Amino acid sequence: MSATLEALQTLLVEELELPGKKPSDLDPDVPVFGEGLGLDSLDALQIAMSIEERFGVRVPEGKEARPIFQSLRTLAAYVDQHKPS
3-state secondary structure of 56: coil
Q: Which stretch binds another protein (CB under 8 A): 4-12, 27-35, 37-45, 76-84?
A: 37-45
62, 64, 81, 84: residue in contact with another protein (rule CB under 8 A):
62
* Residues comprising the chain, all counted: 85
27, 56, 61, 66: residue in contact with another protein (rule CB under 8 A):
61
Query: Helix 3-16 to helix 72-82 angle, to the nearest 10 degrees?
Result: 110
Where residue 34 falls (left for φ over 0; alpha for ψ -120 to 50; beta otherwise) is left
Q: Which stretch binds another protein (CB under 8 A): 5-13, 20-28, 49-57, 69-77?
A: 49-57
Q: Is 52 in the site for another protein (CB under 8 A)?
A: yes
